[in-house]
Amino acid sequence: MMQTIMVYSESGGVSKTTTAVSIAAIAASQGRKVVLVDLDPRAAATKWLNVSPKEEGLHVGAILADSDPEGWAEELAVPSGWFDTLRIIPSSRNVSNREADNSDHLETRLKASLIGLNAELVVIDCPNRQGGPLTQSALNASDTVIYAATASGDGIDGYEGARITVEKFRLNRKRLGVPADLVEAGIVVGAVKETIMSRPAKAAIDELRETGALLTPLIPDRAIVPEVRLTGEWYGNYRKGSPVLAAYEEIVKKVLR
């Protein structure tokens, strides 16, 4: 059965895209058929993998704009160029227009588009939104949520806001008499400066650990990650990226079914 993971935070700059891309790439490198869905109008994952839609306008926004999107995900997914088993549904800045869209059932369209998708794993890189149609689309489409954070106040705030949004989603589903089969896999803390960790960073990690949801190992900070993002490369191809790769590989073992 296909697993669908959303990587979520309500703060920006907390390694959300790095976590989503890393989980997708590692799973694909292990032979799983993976589709990465870039649901963020910033299109950070799309830019990192250096891909473009098959045709102009054929990005994730086309799914959200179609009242009958079944099968669209398979149609729009493009090869990543990294692994034969990794494809991506790209995003675009104008996907943000969907935030003002009040169309009926818009929040269920992403889930409907996944019907018939040739994949074992879907990873959704979410926008840092406080609810809204894009986030609600991810919540409805997913069975697993991973919270992304950094060892900072922003990391904590992003996690706490995302956690509240997930709880509200579950409550609303319960009121409708519909089960919310959304498993909280835990918090991934990225870009941790291990050798010169500040007191605020240590305090932030302790606070996240106290939630009981912290996933380990913590992801170490390495300059190679932002460097390869600029060139559209996978940091796993470089020796300097091996500590980051090894940490995410352990996370993958814990969150994938």
Question: pLDDT tens-digit profile of 148-172?
Answer: 999 999 999 999 999 999 999 999 9
Each domain of the chain, given as residue ranges in start order, spans 3-255
- pLDDT given at position 110: 97
Q: pLDDT over 90 for what percent of the chain?
A: 88
**Beta strands 86-89; 78-79: pairing state:** antiparallel
Average pLDDT over residues 100-111: 87
CATH class of 3-255: alpha beta
Average pLDDT over residues 91-96: 91
Q: What does the block give as tokens for 205?
A: 């990690």
Q: How buried is residue 212: exposed, middle or buried, by Cβ count under 10 Å (0-12/13-18/19+)?
A: exposed
Residue 150: phi and psi, rounded to 5, are -120, 165
DSSP the chain: --EEEEEE-SSSSSSHHHHHHHHHHHHHHTT--EEEEE--TT-HHHHHTT---SSTT-SHHHHHH-SS-TTHHHHH-EE-SS-TTEEEE---GGGGGGGG---TTGGGHHHHHTTT---SEEEEE--S-SSHHHHHHHHHH-SEEEEEEESSHHHHHHHHHHHHHHHHHHHHHHHTT-----EEEEEEEESB-STT--HHHHHHHHHHHHTT-B-SSPPBP-THHHHHHHHT--GGGSGGGHHHHHHHHHHHHHH--
Spatial distance between the Cα atoms of 167 and 154, rounded to a whole number of angstroms: 20
Query: In the beta sheet, which residues pair with residue 6?
Result: 124, 145
CB-CB contact of 240 with 224 (8 Å): yes
* pLDDT bucket at 179, cuts 50 / 70 / 90: confident
- pLDDT given at position 45: 98
Residue 223: phi and psi, rounded to 5, are -60, -25
